[in-house]
A = this chain, B = another copy of it.
Amino acid sequence: MSAAVVLLSGGLDSTVSLALAAGECSSLHALSFAYGQRHARELECARWQARRWKAREHRIIQLDFGSWAKSALTGHGAVPRDGEPSGAIPPTYVPARNTVLLAYALAWAEVLEAPRIYIGANAVDYSGYPDCRPEFLDAFQALANLATRAAIEGRLRFEIRAPLLQLSKAEIVRLGQRLAVDFGHTHSCYDPGAEGAACGACDACRLRLQGFAAAGLADPLAPAGASG
């Protein structure tokens, strides 16, 4: 049982990854980022889940990606709606996002002497992000073990764990249910309404709704009339 830093956006995937880590690690240190997301609802969910899963500490780092990254997720351009995921890299891509998030996680993990970093990346139902692929995660793990004093001195060997990488969204939902994840306190929508309600139409909502439908479960956040 090792200590872990867990990247926690407050979405479905990172929450299930946190719940898994809770069963596999001696202490959890949750790490979230505020980077010009269109909404604060995601971070509220992250706070709730960090408490629920007894993270020893939860840090929220301010990033100013928003000032240069022209992504639909940071307020530049429209979030695509009602389109099937095409396999191409979508406009919600944020340049080098996971590289920056993992770099911060690595810095904290080294200070904590925590050998594990959990990330909820998914390469199956994912929307084509280059930094959610296994080859990216392998390369980051190799980098981590070259970059740090703790690794060079042999005190730690860093491991990037992406336990959802090869799961379908339906499998992630079933796994979350088995672990007693409260899905009502997760947030996936790229473009929520004023009260934080899921739109049901963006890529993230569609993948989520399809996942719950395929798992035979009801999503507590599903908009009225929505279905996968």
Q: Are the CB atoms of B139 and A110 closer together than 8 Å?
A: no
Q: Are the CB atoms of B99 and A147 closer together than 8 Å?
A: yes
Q: Are the CB atoms of B68 and A107 closer together than 8 Å?
A: yes
Instruction: Note all chain B residues with C-beta closer than 8 A to A108.
Output: 68, 95
**Chain A contact residues: helix, strand, loop or mixed:** helix
Q: Are the CB atoms of A96 and B130 closer together than 8 Å?
A: no
Q: Are the CB atoms of B107 and A96 closer together than 8 Å?
A: yes
Query: What copy number does this chain have within its complex?
Result: 2
**Known contacts A100-B104, A104-B100, A111-B68: A151-B136 contact under CB 8 Å:** no
Q: Would you call A131 an interface residue if the criterion is a C-beta within 8 Å of the partner chain's C-beta atoms?
A: yes
Bound CA span A99–B107, Å: 9
**Which bracket fits the contact residues of A?**
35 or more
Q: Are the CB atoms of B69 and A111 closer together than 8 Å?
A: yes
**Known contacts A96-B110, A103-B96, A111-B95: A146-B153 contact under CB 8 Å:** no
List residues of chain A with CB under 8 Å of any chain B CB: 59, 61-62, 64-65, 68-70, 89, 93-100, 102-104, 106-108, 110-111, 130-131, 133, 135-136, 139-140, 142-144, 146-153
- Return the 3 tightest CB-CB contacts between A and B, nearest first: A96-B107, A95-B110, A103-B103
